[in-house]
Amino acid sequence: MDPAEARELLEDYLAEAGVLLEDVEQKLVELEHRADDRALLNDIFRGFHTIKGGAGFLDAKPLVDVAHRTETLFDQLRGGKRVLTPELMDIILRATSAVREMFGQMKSTGTPNAADPALIAALTRTIANETPAAAPAAPPAAPAAPAPAAPPAKPAAPVAGEPDWGGLLATLTGTPASVPTPATPVAAPAPTATAVLAPPAAPAQLAPHKNKSADARETTLRIDVDQFDKIFNLAGEMGLIKNRIAALRTDMVGGRRDNETVRKLDTAVNTLNALVGDMQNLLMMARMQPVGRVFQRYLRLTRDLARQLGKDVELQIDGADTGIDKTMLDELYDPLVHLIRNAVDHGVEATAERIAGGKPAKSILRLSARQLGDQIVIEMEDDGRGMRPEVMRQKAIEKGLLSVDEAAALDEQQALNLVFLPGFSTKTEVSSMSGRGVGMDVVRTNIQKLKGRIDLHSVPGRGTRVRLVLPLTLAVLPVLMFRLGKQTYALALAQVREIIRLRDEEVQYVSNRPSILLRGQVMPLLALGELVGGERGSCAVGAVVEHDDQPMILAADSFVGQDDVLIKALDGYRPQGVAGATLSADGSLVLVLDLKELLESPLRNAA
């Protein structure tokens, strides 16, 4: 087989098998709560069997070995020969982790490494310890291998114990699902033997992708993310040119519409505007992915953490179909891992403590997502012990993060928000899971990078809710544009609470720093011109923003207006506090500011 074709087959297998494995792991966690659900167990068996079948086709023997042994455990469960226990599930999940690791090795080198001998020994030992009501004297006989000269036709629908070649190999090779595919002989599942699948003798002779029948044509197209981003960037460039044409039209003819040429130009501009808008909307929708793609990964994580800590915790997911930009979805993975670890380790009580407090032994974590206008709201809620403001103040004092007077000055919400400080932790001892005070700090930092915000609500004895509010996408960002001298700057609109006019007589000085009293609240006044390394400017207008839970006013010369822009990264040198750049309708460069970095810059600290 041509190396390029072989690589394509491998990548297709890894993509499909990766999805199958995620589904299998999700259902395994569900199975632990519904051990008598036969349909769920059969789904798991079929999914794993299909993974094994594709691995055999690719001659990935170590992967086939682990998959076959694990599949034997599933078969024993299906046949009522053993009972599902937490210890058995631990071994099964170790095996699925090994399979996932082998996927990564195959992606890098084309072949998987041999599995950990300890895992193989554990699987072998567990299989051999099967104790059915009437145990046979010898291991089950191997399934009859089909005669090579007359392979059986694939049945119309997959049955338990038979690989779904039609679904998998149609993707791998382009063979229509209706074409019979030879079954692959499987070695007998002996406890001490390594079972492998023999690959077809000549896979290169299978029908090429271009001969796929029209009836079997796929309705989806897999495209490289970088390629798609380039297409999206081109659409954004077209949008900028559209704005430029509209601006030139205004410069040329002003508000006149009495000329036929002007009317035709207006029609062309309006048509272009509609077409570009439609194209950008369609591309935006194509970037959207359901949050469930990431959320489902946390079912296994929650289960493993709870087992490690000796707790009984179940993760429930709501709004898994909510769509969010793929780039943003990928960036959410780590912050949500920290939130779940924090909830299981800190928030949820031990089982005995819950029962003593009149709570159910099992704790429920709820991870939900919903769309509100052009924002996505993600919530993580537990029913644990909650957070006590007085404890938070005391821990901050003990760790030297605040003085006694500073801690006493905090209200209850500010005390709860201490959890986001670098180095803050309520743990007295450092463990492999927590205690170093970096988890929630990482969460807030990452959410702010996504132009979002994080809110915390907790009731002692009842639980804690963390809410993440994020823009729907980062590809096209609604911004507020303003001028400092001759330069135009932009700030994410979601970060601006309101816009106000500034008057010199309203400026007060608190601790020698300029401030404004707005509706009874004193807010620091910062000149954006000084923050970006220029002149202070006239400071005629102000944008009320919030940083570290403190409202403040950023002063500029004037506001240009609001727009939706496509942000471009700056290659090479990037000024402090600048996230990227875009173009205005008149073709001038607009610098998009990073509010967090801007306010934490040396210029800010020296003010």
List pLDDT tens digits, range 503-546: 988 898 888 889 999 988 899 999 988 888 777 778 899 999 98
Which of 118-132, 238-252, 396-410 bottoms out in mean pLDDT, i.e. has the lowest?
Answer: 238-252
Q: With CA atoms as reference, report the closest residue to 154 among 282, 257, 53, 39.
A: 53
Helices 260-287 & 225-253, crossing angle to 10 degrees? 160
Q: What is the pLDDT of residue 137?
A: 38
Task: Please tell me the least confidently modeled range out of 13-22, 110-119, 137-146, 557-566.
Answer: 137-146
Q: 552 has which bridge partners?
A: 545
pLDDT mean over 477-485? 86
Which of 343, 347, 338 lies closest to 436, judged by CA?
A: 338
Q: Model confidence over 225-272: pLDDT tens digits?
A: 777 777 777 777 777 777 778 777 777 777 666 678 778 888 888 888
Residue 30 has pLDDT above 70, yes or no: yes
pLDDT in tens, 143-186: 433 433 333 333 333 333 333 433 343 333 333 333 333 333 33
Going by pLDDT thresholds of 50, 70 and 90, the confidence category of residue 191 is very low
3-state secondary structure of 211: helix
* Averaged pLDDT, 475-482: 81
Which of 23-27, 233-237, 425-429 is the least confident region?
425-429
- The count of residues in the chain is 607
pTM of the model as a whole? 0.61
Question: Residue 424: its pLDDT value, please?
Answer: 82
For residue range 76-102, what is the model confidence (pLDDT) as tens digits? 998 888 899 999 999 999 999 999 999
User: Can you give the pLDDT at residue 595?
Assistant: 83
- Alpha-carbon gap, residue 442 to 507, rounded angstroms: 36
Burial 566-596 (b: 16+ CB within 10 A, else e): bbeeeeeeeeebbbbbbbbbeeeebbbbbbb
More confident residue, 458 or 209: 458
Amino acid letter for position 78: R
The mean pLDDT value of the chain amounts to: 78
Q: Tell me: pLDDT of 202 over 80.
A: no
More confident residue, 557 or 567: 557
- Identify the pLDDT of residue 348: 94
Minimum mean pLDDT among 117-121, 222-226, 413-417: which range?
A: 222-226
Cα radius of gyration rounded to whole Å, the chain: 30
- Top pLDDT among 197 and 419 is at 419
Quick one: pLDDT at residue 557? 92
pLDDT of 23 higher than 80: yes
273-309 confidence digits (pLDDT tens): 788 778 877 777 777 889 988 898 899 899 999 999 9
The pLDDT tens digits of the residues spanning 302-341 come to: 999 999 999 999 999 999 999 888 878 888 888 999 999 9
DSSP H helical segments within 199-350, as ranges?
A: 225-253, 260-287, 292-295, 297-309, 326-342
Q: What is the pLDDT of residues 344-361, one digit of tens each?
A: 998 999 999 999 999 999
* pLDDT band at 221; cut points 50, 70, 90: low
**Which contiguous run of DSSP H or E holds residue 97?**
helix 86-109
- Residue 411 CB contacts under 8 Å (≥ 6 apart), including other chains: none
